Structure 1
Amino acid sequence: MQPKVNPASGAQLSLDARRPLQDLRHGGLGSSHGKSILMGEHSVVYGAPAVALPLLDLQTAVSVRASDTATITSDLYTGPLAKAPKELRPVITALRATAKHVGLNIESCEIVISSTVPLERGLGSSAAVSAAMVAAVSNAAGVKLNPDDEFNLVQIAENVAHGTSSGLDAHTVRSLTPVRFQGGKPTDVHVATPFTFVIADSGTSGSTSAAVNGVRMLREQSPRFVNGIIDNLANLAENAIAALGEGDSKGLGESMYQGQEQLARLGVSAPALDALVEGAIKHSALGAKLTGSGLGGCVLILAKDHDHANALIEEMQGVGATRGWKTSLVPSHLASDFQHDSGLDGLFNNEENV
């Protein structure tokens, strides 16, 4: 059977999941989480591997239930679905694409979005909300999507949000373990022991297009210099993967500091980011580096433990952070048990749980 291709997004959806249109009778819930790039910013654009972390403590939830009129409630906007602002277009794209795919009429529905993933900070907010929306709508229809269709429906929304999306965010916000991403292909990364991180917000917004274009122009002018940095970042990504698999916090932290040095050489760091990294070093963080495109946004910091993470959040605010979050990676065997717990599916399948 040939897949159905959405020409606007390139996403492929299986044909056998198409169903006759039905009215929304039961509510559904969906959830997801943010993401942070551990290693491989910018170098991934040129074929090198990147490693992204699921931010399990930054959560997004979406509920869908029947209503007299189609409405949406969120931090960005509350009101009729038809009058939602353009900032919600990717999320509404996920809503409508999923509803069409599972055969659900959502013209009379109430959508409620709750999220602790900050907007415009490179932490996967749009992908997280879209993934939660896909899950909520499919659960409301009583349809269990296969993983490929889940990804492709999120990717349709991500392409609306970002033009052309690599797929890194769409994979990571649906994973409980880190993801190695290269050439469009994701691979789960083994985590041997828990790791605790702090995300410190510099309070300044970066520009992905400006950062990516800046690196591209630098590469055109000095290809040997930039290609050398790309090779270094590729090696650091593999070192980080090995450290996660061995439970080597010290080795992971050293790779993070070296990654920050390479990104600074590319010109994508910024004074506000440098100040947070220097503050992390001063307060005994195991590692620290910018996360995302740079020129603003957030710094990812590796803490010794939960108590150290709490102290780091306070200390980072003293050197310029506007806010901070703590998050942890769980060992792969625990993530696998949680991911495959058959009891989870029933939590989101009917209105009684909404």
Structure 2
Amino acid sequence: MHLPDSNDVNVEIAPAAESALGGEPSLRHLLRSPAHGGLGSAHGKAILMGEHSVVYGAPAIALPLVDLQTTASVREADHGSISSDLYTGPLEGAPARLQPVITALRATVDRVGLSFDSFEIVISSTIPLERGLGSSAAVAAAMVRAVSNAAGVALSPEETFELVQVAEHVAHGTSSGLDAHAVRSLSPLRFQAGIPTPVRVGAPMAFVIADSGTSGSTSAAVGGVRMLRKTRPALVEGIIESLAGLAESAIAALGAGDANALGATMLSGHEHLARLGVSAPALDALVAAAADGGAYGAKLTGSGLGGCVLALVDPDQADAVSDAMMAAGAAQTLRTTLPGGQKETA
């Protein structure tokens, strides 16, 4: 454990929570005191490059979606309860989909020695569920921070990661750890062999995210690539090698602030993922629509077979790209901007 510094404090409270508190330091302190409970937050993430190839040792790049936030609050109560978009009611009656966050709650309570017997939990989130944008990891990270703040204990980054991973294993069976790192990082991360490394961004990058309206299937997509690798090993190995090279090209483009180069890399990445069989007609249509609407580039993000498409845009073209993707069948579009020149921090 370590004493919190100013960077820890800034990432513990979501922007929405700061606004609600009016920036009043005394109120922020109350939300961190054991007598009044605790507040925590985390953000979404998107895979820029490296889906599937990361399984075979290639690097992946994850982007922080700081405009998509999850906030969790925990306070002592006479009876355990939870309020969220998925379920509101007694804690013991929570559905299976909320078990990961309850696991995070209990594991963190044990770790920090919080003395509450019963909890009132409130979760709010702007991260779409089951779309490959890190929703489950963000909720778990927000819960870990809320409980540790309620106890007045500053967990180390390693301890926080470990507790989020406990929840992620419940949610997904096994977890690489990429999401658990990415939803807590303010900079993009290069992730390889379980090790995250911050990536520099030379200039702001604006993105439009299109929700296809259907959830992806990680198990089906990963299983499909595995089967293709057995039947056509040379093809898959070649694609993995190409995706690894594209990941490094994307890192270079991010560092240089070169949107044109990054967009071209994204389009190439999508083509390779389609050759692996993890795209879908709806995703291909959204990528094409983004390009027609003026995007620098676009690709599926996440496991594929559904989920979302990530498009890199000029801010002045964001409306046109969003409209084009909606016309091509997107259920909704979201926007986020990756700041440029920020301090590298994981």
TM-score (norm 1): 0.87
- The residue aligned with 1:132 is 142
Letter in 2 for 1:129: V
CA contact (8 A) 1:26 1:141 kept: no
Q: CA deviation at 1:335?
A: 6.8
Q: CA deviation at 1:180?
A: 0.5
CA distance in 1: counterparts of 2:340 and 2:289, whole angstroms: 28
Partner SS, residue 48 of structure 2: strand
Partner SS, residue 208 of structure 2: strand
Partner SS, residue 149 of structure 2: helix
TM-superposition CA deviations, 1:168-205 (whole Å, max 9, x none): 00000000100100011110111111100011011122
Q: CA deviation at 1:69?
A: 1.0
- The residue aligned with 1:325 is 334
CA distance in 1: counterparts of 2:248 and 2:164, whole angstroms: 27
CA contact (8 A) 2:107 2:163 kept: yes
After TM superposition, list the pairs within 5 Å mapping 1:82-161 onto structure 2.
Answer: 82-161=92-171
- The residue aligned with 1:275 is 285
Partner SS, residue 47 of structure 2: strand
Q: Which runs of 5+ in 2 are unaligned?
A: 1-32
Partner SS, residue 342 of structure 2: helix
Q: CA deviation at 1:24?
A: 5.2
- The residue aligned with 1:291 is 301
Partner SS, residue 161 of structure 1: helix
Identity %: 67
CA distance in 2: counterparts of 1:87 and 1:310, whole angstroms: 34
- The residue aligned with 1:218 is 228
Q: Give the counterpart of 1:79 among 79, 89, 98.
A: 89
CA distance in 2: counterparts of 1:128 and 1:264, whole angstroms: 28
CA distance in 2: counterparts of 1:325 and 1:245, whole angstroms: 24
Q: 1:248 and 2:255 equivalent?
A: no
Partner SS, residue 56 of structure 1: strand
CA distance in 2: counterparts of 1:69 and 1:311, whole angstroms: 50
Partner SS, residue 33 of structure 1: strand
Q: Which runs of 5+ in 1 are unaligned?
A: 1-22, 340-354
CA distance in 2: counterparts of 1:75 and 1:144, whole angstroms: 28
Q: How many residues align?
A: 314
> Deviating runs (4+, > 4 A) in structure 1?
none
Q: CA deviation at 1:315?
A: 2.0
TM-score (norm 2): 0.89
Letter in 2 for 1:152: E
Q: Give the counterpart of 1:42 among 49, 52, 59.
A: 52
CA contact (8 A) 1:70 1:110 kept: yes
Partner SS, residue 269 of structure 1: coil
CA distance in 1: counterparts of 2:319 and 2:135, whole angstroms: 23
Q: 1:62 and 2:96 equivalent?
A: no
Root mean square deviation of aligned Cα: 1.4
CA distance in 2: counterparts of 1:134 and 1:332, whole angstroms: 29
